[in-house]
Amino acid sequence: MSAVHKVIFDTDPGVDDAMALYFALAHPAIDVIGITTTFGNVTVQQATENALYLTRIAGVEVPVAQGAAVPLSKKPGPPPDFIHGKDGLGNLASRVNVPGTAEHISAAEFIVSMARQHPGEITLVAVAPLGNLGLALKIEPNLPKLLKRVVLMAGTVTEPGNVSPVAEANVWNDPDAADLVFTAGWDLTMCGLDVTHRVVLPSSLFDALAAKHSHIATDTLQHAVHFYSTFYQAIRPELGHACYGHDVLAFAWLVAPELFKTQMGRVRVARSGEGNGQTMMDRLGTLFYPEPGWEKEKPETRVCMSVDVQACTDLIVNTLSGDWLKPAITR
Ligand code: BDR
Ligand code: CA
């Protein structure tokens, strides 16, 4: 199969980001042509270091551009080191030396430049706070026409939030940027907690993967997933030693949309008060008392509402089990 999806991956690695990155590198229909980083699970500097590290140890040299260090206007908070570790990868005991540095342009400039060079060809998969896309829209308002599509791991419609009763972390981290993204007018798909909380991945799957490949990249992922699963087991003992795949589901939708049931509708983001970071979807499409901001002309988002859990889990495991790893690039 030739790679049909030319992807820029916008990420804050992050354990599930690492899982998603490796899924993308492993899947034959995906060609990762660039990575853009943001604050979120870790600082943006750590996110960049992790993106360089994860790609190089998997034997891949893909450009990495550093992006947003803080939200567009919300006051920044500390990274959630109790979920992903201080280093974002479950506190690795040591790291090998890898070559490479970030691009000399920002993440937003990188996205715009690549989109202008390849109009209509690039899929942007964003699984982190959405400041890079928000800033890219400010540089190039025509970006929604220049990108082929945008796929998000963000938000929630019917599932409770994971940072407040109503807010998902990526949206909550930068609600202003998220609202810009939901109203920009691209071909937009949202994989939020409605589907990501259905796909529970036992840490034993990653033990088996590490045993099969015997490679530094899958050993690193195994370590990170163990840390992450210990966090989830503490808050959701019923899951066992397991975690949510979150970010990897954005790629699962990209390569296997038939595994998801979706609904189209306008989505807006609450940007203040107790609902801060909530993604609100007009699921009926018939508003008899239209509020400003919900005009019919506002663009719609394709929202993933349910997923075939077994088929999605099999897709993730089979893809990561394939023959995709190259010798690590070290110095
Ligand atoms: C999202 O927040 C981050 O912590 C994860 O990497 C994922 O992108 C889940 O809400
Ligand atoms: Ca993420």
DSSP class per residue in 101-128: ---SS-HHHHHHHHHHHSTTTEEEEE-S
> Which atom of ligand 1 is nearest to 80's Cα?
4
Question: Is the beta carbon of 55 within 6 A of some atom in ligand 1?
Answer: no
- Index of the ligand 1 atom closest to the CA of residue 14: 6
Please report the atom of ligand 1 found closest to the CA of residue 168: 10
- For the beta carbon of residue 214, count every other beta carbon within 10 angstroms: 9
Domain 5-321: which CATH number of 3.90.245.10, 3.90.110.10, 3.30.70.360, 1.10.10.1100:
3.90.245.10
Ligand 2 centre from 64 Cα, in Å?
Answer: 16
Please tell me the least confidently modeled range out of 67-76, 102-111, 289-298.
Answer: 289-298
Instruction: Express each pLDDT in 34-48 by its tens digit.
Output: 999 999 999 999 999
Annotated catalytic residues are 246
Rounded Cα distance between 10 and 37, Å, is 6
pLDDT tens-digit map of 151-205: 999 999 999 999 999 999 999 999 999 999 999 999 999 999 999 999 999 999 9
Atom of ligand 1 nearest to the CA of 83: 4
- Ligand 1 within 6 A of 17 CB? yes
Check residue 187 and give its pLDDT.
Answer: 98
Helix (H) / strand (E) element for 302: namely strand 301-307
What pLDDT score does 3 carry?
74
> Strand order of the sheet with strand 149-153?
64-66, 30-37, 5-11, 122-126, 149-153, 188-191, 301-307, 260-265
- Residue 15, ligand 1, Cβ within 6 A: no
**Helices and strands counted in the chain (H then E):** 13, 12
Measured from the Cβ of residue 93, the count of other Cβ atoms closer than 10 Å reads 6
Q: Which ligand is closest in space to the CA of residue 232?
A: 1
Specify the amino acid at residue 41: N
| C-alpha 329 – ligand 1 centre gap (Å) | 28
Rounded distance, CA 243 to CA 232, Å?
6
Q: Please work out whether the CB of residue 162 comes within 6 Å of at least one atom of ligand 1.
A: yes
Ligand 1 pocket residue status of 173, Cβ below 6 Å: no
In the predicted model, what is the mean pLDDT of residues 22-32? 98
Gap from CA of 300 to ligand 2 centroid (Å) = 23
* Residue ID of nearest Cα to ligand 1 atom 4: 41
Q: Is 153 in the pocket of ligand 1 (CB under 6 A)?
A: yes
Identify the pLDDT of residue 287. Answer: 75
Q: Is the CB of 246 under 6 A from ligand 1?
A: yes
d(CA 266, CA 53): 38
Question: At 182, phi and psi to the nearest 5?
Answer: -70, -15
Nearest bound ligand to CA 85?
A: 1
- Ligand 1 centre distance from Cα of residue 187 (Å): 22
232 Cα distance to chain centroid: 18
Q: How far is CA 79 from the centre of its chain?
A: 16
Tokens 């036992």 found at: 202
| Residue of 9, 16, 151 with the most ligand 1 atoms within 8 Å of its CB, for mutation | 16
pLDDT tens for each residue of 254-285? 999 999 999 999 999 999 999 999 999 999 98
Q: Which atom of ligand 1 is nearest to the CA of 196?
A: 9
Taking the domains of the chain in order of start, what are their residue ranges? 5-321
Residue 139 has pLDDT above 80, yes or no: yes
DSSP helix/strand/coil, 78: coil
pTM: 0.98
